[in-house]
Structure 1
């Protein structure tokens, strides 16, 4: 018995129980080691003409024996001498692959694709095996040697026999363990079954560059006997066949010109378990300080759990074709959480278990590039196939809006032009840029109305008032819309026709264009304004004078109505925005009526008193109802003024899609007035 050349018991215990969080990755590690051994021999043959091997014969072979409880991972690679067994397996954390990789760094990824880095992957075998036996014969050697250990105190190295060069790693798989009070049960039998091994290979090692083969059991119909009668029933028999379990060449490393759209779609459906083709496939290769390949997909429809707390975002992270993480959340921002795909890089610095990365800056660099690429592809989809983009936005637009709100507007510059809203004027979905391009030169803001129903919003008096002045209104029906606009505050439109300060400058520009000059363009910034909040400043000078005069003339009436509404409104005022309706409710401050409704539906509603919007009751002084109010005030009929004030307030609430605070009292007032 030879002792390990380290503090073996402590370090091996660390290898087996602390470094890896998932036992099933042992097969990934051992297959990666086998692939490295095959790669070394292949590289040796490429650089030494005296070595003759058939590259098609290079492979990794899996086999298992249920009765003996052994799993064998074999390769026909370069093999190891007794000294190399001592050095590579007897010295924990010594990586022969890493040394080879450094010596031939200029060929990495070309003639050679070494995976190993730390020299500890082999010891993951002890997570599932009670005994490990390694039989190896070095290329060019006549004799083989066997390394054997139980992973406790030490190991033995003895002479052995093997027909040809290569290595066999033979694991004696542990017995199943029943559940205890301190943990879950362990079903080690999974590693002694065809389906279990096939699943692990396809999940973690599907794209190792050499075939991973295994004898599998298949069924076939027996030949029909010559004397079989009409009542003959077909009989079947099982047989063994050598099958390659992995696909080897990853689709994301092929040139996009060599892959058809159908192939991309089929890979997406098979890999991400979707029945529909993706809306967009994105394949690109990045070079520089970090080199990586990426294949991304934008799904056609949102998964059912996309907006649930249990949904896990992330891209599959591979290193040299070996899967490191099934879902690396750091590669995607939350607002692109719907994107599925793969990133593969040999340059990322993995930790010792190869399950996470050591340097966040590498991950951030890749994530930044991925984010920009996704945004660029969405812009292309928006401009090239508007119908498909609108379908995409219906499924995933809420997340883009939430990205702006969640970042307090910091991501507005990146995401604002991807948003779509319903135009009340054009009666279709438009972008903010399209809204700005269609607005009159005199318009100074982008107007929107927020609610839960597009048809109701279009009929609201405050919306009609803005439309009547020739300005479009965006009808926003998502609960996050107004929060998004509050976070954005304004929108900068690029490349708009220049607005000149005076008629002379405009005329000079017109003449210059008539003589062949290019139209002057400029960037303009527009405030985002809710049509139901604050003063929109749309009134003409004459309308403002009329409102001031009416306010002064009916000052006592407005004071009486405010008192009648008992603190429900901040004030009662003359409206310059109403054309047909007798009254409307607007708000002052950051909290609108729609935001108040959204908060009332949220989980905070049960926690205590919610914030309330600062409401203003605006009256249309040209409406017949206002004349009735003036008459009641002049007659000293305080009760009628109060009745009409409360009724107008409740009616305005109904128009906003909100119930009166006391529906019974509202009904009684209507009957009393009738």
Structure 2
């Protein structure tokens, strides 16, 4: 028996794979189980075309055996086996995949696909083993062979004895060290945990000898241990069952089993797509948001399977950021896997799945909005902020996808309404979709700026979250109706009233110029208000930055101290205005006092800090003297 060397490039690839490719050592078991499943699939396929071979699925299985005394772990299958030549070709040359060649040469059908396509998964065994031994007997040979390797130094192949067709892979585990405890891969609970995590939906039974306990015969409190063979995988994934076979309870139970959340899902989506790319998916819209959802610690993504084998626990590329709350999984037979099952090619296939999922989530949310408003509002309370951020993010690239999902509190309906509902009941003479911003519905209700719009009978949307106005500014309009803040310079409401306002502005031009000078660097202008009816004063904004946006931006870390172009608006029909006029004519110092008080009052109404509280309180006292 002579030792054969791996080719130089194979040695380098083996070293790279052991040290770099797999992020967790436990995946070696996933790879070996997948190879065993492939071997049984190949035998099944041969049986379809060879009348001399019978295939009874109940006779085929994968078994895991742990020998703690000798520190070996074996994976046994009853698959097609390998000849000497196949051992040489498939295991002697790294990245030479027998599964890939088999798939290319045969038209795989009947739902049996070959999982391992790139031939390096087997070598993941060397992450945990010093010596790997493969004993295999092919259905095409009476002679069994043993392949053995200690890693990069090479391998041997020699005849051996084996009674049945199939393969046994035995790993001599590495010695434990300060960083790694390899004995964990001999523990029953750990092996079952790995199987259920990665290989639960392999279509063949994965068996293990499991230690159980029972009451001793004739005893009431004394137990004895016994060992029995158990199947530790569930085999048939829920997503491959017909929807008609499943109930809402089945989907909810699966949600709990997969620990997608501690709540109940508001809605589930079951997809079976057979088109350009084939895939199955089960998606969930949660009832409650995770505690860390709006933090940097939250990690989005769906579980990704390839033909029932877990590839990634969180594949972020399958869901867009605006739907990052969606939980669930995708299983596809058609994904291109590169080198290892953890390195997924970011290609057209993945983008196509993401695009389809994006459309489906939106349609299901719209359906929930129409058919079960209470549930939708519960969802929106948890995740509406994320939808609004999605409108704003990426320069509005997704605004058309999300605009129909948005909801805001209505001044008329006293509840959340959609933009479509708002526009559908707009009076013919209403040009804009009006909105007001503030910390709460109650505070917005009392804003002086809402008076004119409300007096005209127009509905106002209340924005109470920081992202609201940023999202709406990115949206620009909805069904050709532009958004307009009640605090904007021009409300576009009454032209005759505008002419009257211009007249008053001209008549009191000197008074307003004086007030503007008093408030130099604080306001851009002082004007007659078109919007105030009963309140004496308010602030409005000229330009792109609103007062509410100023507050939000300046509350951020490393802010640039951005300021809105503020305008102090005066209600000339209020009795206060007569005091201003009288002071302008007789006592300019009193006018300065009134001007500063009115400005600070306007700041307080907007929820902005008074620049000098002591001066403000002293000024108030002066008025009382």
Q: Which residue of 2 aligns with 1:97?
A: 99
CA–CA distance in 2 between the matches of 1:658 and 1:91?
Answer: 72
Give distance in 1, aligned partners of 2:62 and 2:322.
Answer: 42
1:208 corresponds in structure 2 to 202
Deviation at 1:53, TM superposition (A): 4.0
Deviation at 1:82, TM superposition (A): 2.1
In structure 1, what is the equivalent of residue 484 of structure 2? 529
Q: 2:452 is matched with which residue: 445, 465, 490?
A: 465
Corresponding residue number in structure 2 for 1:596: 550
Partner of residue 504, structure 2? 550
**2:292 aligned counterpart, secondary structure:** coil
TM-score scaled by structure 1?
0.90
Q: 2:210 touches 2:227 (CA, 8 Å); kept in 1?
A: yes
Q: Using the alignment, how far apart are the partners of 1:209 and 1:150 within structure 2?
A: 31
Number of matched pairs: 622
Deviation at 1:576, TM superposition (A): 0.9
Deviates most, 9-18 or 277-286: 9-18
Instruction: Please give the alpha-carbon distance, in whole angstroms, between the structure 1 residues aligned to 2:493 and 2:162.
Output: 91
What displacement does 1:62 show? 0.4
CA distance in 2, matches of 1:19, 1:423: 54
Deviates more, 1:421-430 or 1:234-243: 234-243
Query: 287-296 vs 619-628, which deviates more?
Result: 287-296
Q: 2-side partners of 1:17 and 1:660: how far apart?
A: 61
8 Å CA contact 1:87–1:94 kept in 2: the answer is yes
Question: RMSD value over aligned CA atoms?
Answer: 1.5
Aligned to 2:133: 133
**1:359 Cα offset (Å):** 4.3
Task: Answer yes or no: is the 8 Å Cα contact 1:224–1:234 preserved in 2.
Answer: no
3-state SS of 1:257 partner: helix
Residue number in structure 1 paired with 2:175: 175
SS of structure 2 residue aligned to 1:264: helix
* 1:406 and 2:393 are equivalent in the alignment: yes
Counterpart secondary structure, 1:407: helix
The answer on 1:643 being equivalent to 2:587 is no
Q: For residue 457 of structure 1, report the CA deviation from its aligned partner.
A: 0.3
**Are 2:515 and 1:561 aligned?**
yes
1:152 aligned partner: 152
Are positions 1:477 and 2:464 aligned together? yes
Aligned to 2:46: 44
2:277 is matched with which residue? 290
Pairing 1:354-369 to 2, within 5 Å after superposition: 354-369=341-356
| 1:28 equivalent in alignment to 2:15 | no
- Please identify runs of 4+ aligned residues in structure 1 that moved more than 4 A: none
Change beyond 3 A, Cα 1:548–1:12: closer
Paired position in structure 2 for 1:268: 255
Mapping of residues 73-112 of structure 1, within 5 Å: 73-107=75-109, 110=110, 112=112
Cα offset for 1:590? 1.2
Decide whether the 8 Å contact of 1:129 with 1:172 is kept in 2: yes
SS class of match (1:197)? helix
Aligned with 2:163: secondary structure? Answer: coil
> Gapped runs of 5+ residues in structure 2?
none
- 8 Å Cα contact 1:43-1:111 kept in structure 2: no
Quote how far apart the aligned CAs of 1:20 are: 2.8
Q: Please, which of 245, 254, 257 is the counterpart of residue 232 of structure 2?
A: 245
User: Contact 2:211/2:227 (CA < 8 Å) preserved in 1?
Assistant: yes
Q: Does 1:631 align with 2:618?
A: no
In structure 2, distance between residues paired with 1:143 and 1:92? 24
Q: Are the aligned partners of 1:74 and 1:168 in contact in 2 as well (CA < 8 Å)?
A: yes
Distance 2:345 2:42 in 1: 27
2:572 matched residue in structure 1: 621
1:580 to 524, 534, 541: 534
Find the residue that maps to 1:105 and give its secondary structure. Answer: coil
Kept after mapping to 1: 8 A contact 2:554/2:562: no
Match of 2:619 in 1: 669
Q: CA contact under 8 A between 1:81 and 1:136: conserved in structure 2?
A: yes
> 2:185 corresponds to which residue?
191
- Deviation of 1:152 after TM superposition, in Å, equals 2.6
Q: What is the match of residue 570 of structure 1? A: 524
Correspondences of 1:442-521 after superposition (within 5 Å): 442-492=429-479
